[in-house]
Amino acid sequence: MAAPGWLPPGARPAVRVVDMHTGGEPLRIVPGGLEPGPAGPTLLARRRHMGAELDHVRRLLVQEPRGHRGMYAAVLVPSELPAARLGALFLHGQGYSTMCGHAVLALGRFALDAGLVPAPSRPETAVTIHCPCGPVTAFVPWDGRRSGSRVRFHSVPAFAAAADVTVDVPGHGKVVVDIGYGGAFYAFLSAERLGLDVCSSKTQDLVDAASAVTEAVKRQFKLHHPDNEELAFLYGTILTDGKDAFCDEPTTNICVFADAQVDRSPTGSGVTARIALQYHKGLIQLNQTRSFRSSTTGSLFTGKAVKEAKCGDYNAVVVEVSGEAFYTGTATFVVEEEDPLKYGFSLK
């Protein structure tokens, strides 16, 4: 049996990671040590630099043979914000996102357990995480020894970008969607409008339909973000069960983002954007908690609008999202220079 810390002869250690999941959605955390690290004076500049100069690191982390089609990762970097304990760049199969709620829930735990927050307080510690969309605060249980699994966060100001927008979707005709922002932009509609059931239709049928909606909205609707146009892109489409009015029963959805990647969780930034849309439409009030179920795993998040805010000219809300995050492993990935697939590959 190989000794602890053993590495294959001739292989160089490329990166060390900690793996977690939140509601079934994986998160591969790179605590640091990338050489060279993503450079730039701001987090958005580091995001641009990583995409342009270090994209092989993303491919190594999330693509096969070390990852898979559904893998997601976060690279921890310094933040220019004094209040933030850490900055995070979010990586997926196609590129880089601006916000990731399931990652924030997991990173809150990791920050405490890894000692990134000096002197955590009991029974709960606030951890500000600088995301590309802005600072997000996670609230993490702490018993004096380790973090608890149920974490909540307060979002950046979330808003309804557009309601009842008609788009022409190939194969489905004219379809009405809402567009919400929760750190990333999503299109929302009931799966029933596409002739599907979010709870019982085949996942591939839901993915194909959601992807068609995403492409149609990208072609037919121009997004705008008042803070930075770098944030103004449609990340994906979330198909729902249509239960937008407040009730005590969970509402079910599936999020299809980036290049037809399926979120296994109820999607933290998607819950944020959906709450903002429901508040905009008068379907939910401040501090009314709703439960959101993933159609893929059955995992649950809760969400509620906790206060009104502004984002440029948009009326917005700060949304609290909670869910459970768990550790699944650690790994040291190595590279052999003669390996033609050392930086990964992707199969569709």
The token duo for 36 is 């060279």
Beta strands in 114-184 (DSSP E): 124-131, 134-141, 150-154, 158-169, 173-181
Residue 311 known to be catalytic: no
Question: Of the residues 100, 131, 133, 255, which is catalytic?
Answer: 100
> In 3-state terms, what secondary structure has residue 281?
coil
The token duo for 209 is 């339909």
Would you tell me how many other CB atoms lie within 10 Å of the CB of residue 227?
13
Would you tell me how many other CB atoms lie within 10 Å of the CB of residue 309?
18
How far separated are the first and last CA of the chain, in Å rounded?
36
The answer to whether residues 43 and 80 touch, using CB atoms and an 8 Å cutoff, is yes
Residues marked active site are found at: 100
